[in-house]
Amino acid sequence: NAGVTQTPKFRVLKTGQSMTLLCAQDMNHEYMYWYRQDPGMGLRLIHYSVGEGTTAKGEVPDGYNVSRLKKQNFLLGLESAAPSQTSVYFCASSDQRRSSYEQYFGPGTRLTVT
Amino acid sequence: QQQVKQSPQSLIVQKGGISIINCAYENTAFDYFPWYQQFPGKGPALLIAIRPDVSEKKEGRFTISFNKSAKQFSLHIMDSQPGDSATYFCAASMRYGGATNKLIFGTGTLLAVQP
């Protein structure tokens, strides 16, 4: 039982490049989330999903797209990376049968955009 | 109005001492107040949580104190140990989009427990 896994762990992009971050969970959770963590700003919700085939915007969705084609996977895409997207990205999941204040986080992806 | 304000930004405590981290909120729609613990290079992990109709919750050395009228809550770590050195985030949960709960995180407190 690996919990929530994220790939890659680190990535350096040049401005304008694109990439996809992959999140996978093996807990059969319905809800999945993408956050970004910046110094002094806590974690901010980018996008979330309440089930396979559904996605919705969070607090800071601009510049990002997501897809949830399979229940266990949640992909975060950057179409044209900008230096402002330099951050640590965390994926999380939660069980709809319990209060979804309890979220399980992956280890994070550290992204640098130069 | 959806912010959660957390203080201090960093905290140094001697081994065996009490660590206290404070948070304040404005939105009365929040229905759960969890604390998350994050070690370097890891994702946050739920530590303890409290509902707004409870004034205190204790789990081992960790206690949440909740003051509904003042809209404040705090984490107390008793007998602090070097292994408690981590970043602590308070959060507040509210319904979002009709289907799930949204977590609003504080800005984090970096705790260092000196041996």
**In this predicted structure, what is the pLDDT of residue A107?**
96
Residues of B in contact with A45 (CB under 8 A): 102-103
pLDDT higher than 90, residue B102 = no
Q: Would an 8 Å CB–CB cutoff place B43 in contact with chain A?
A: yes
As a whole-number percent, the residues of chain A with pLDDT over 90 amount to 85
Residues of A in contact with B100 (CB under 8 A): 31, 48, 50, 94, 96, 100
Q: What band does A2 get if pLDDT is binned at 50, 70 and 90? A: confident
- Candidate from B41, B100, B105 with C-beta closest to A50: B100
Query: Can you tell me the distance from the alpha carbon of B14 to that of A59, in angstroms, rounded to the nearest whole number?
Result: 38
Region B87-94: what's the mean pLDDT?
A: 94
Q: What angle do CA A90, A9, B48 make, to 5 degrees?
A: 35
Q: What angle do CA A48, A81, A8 make, to 5 degrees?
A: 65
- Candidate from B43, B101, B107 with C-beta closest to A105: B43
Strands B109-114 and A10-13 come out as unpaired
pLDDT higher than 70, residue A45 = yes
pLDDT higher than 70, residue A98 = no
CA distances from B104 to A42, A45, B75 (A): 9, 8, 17
Q: What band does B24 get if pLDDT is binned at 50, 70 and 90? A: very high
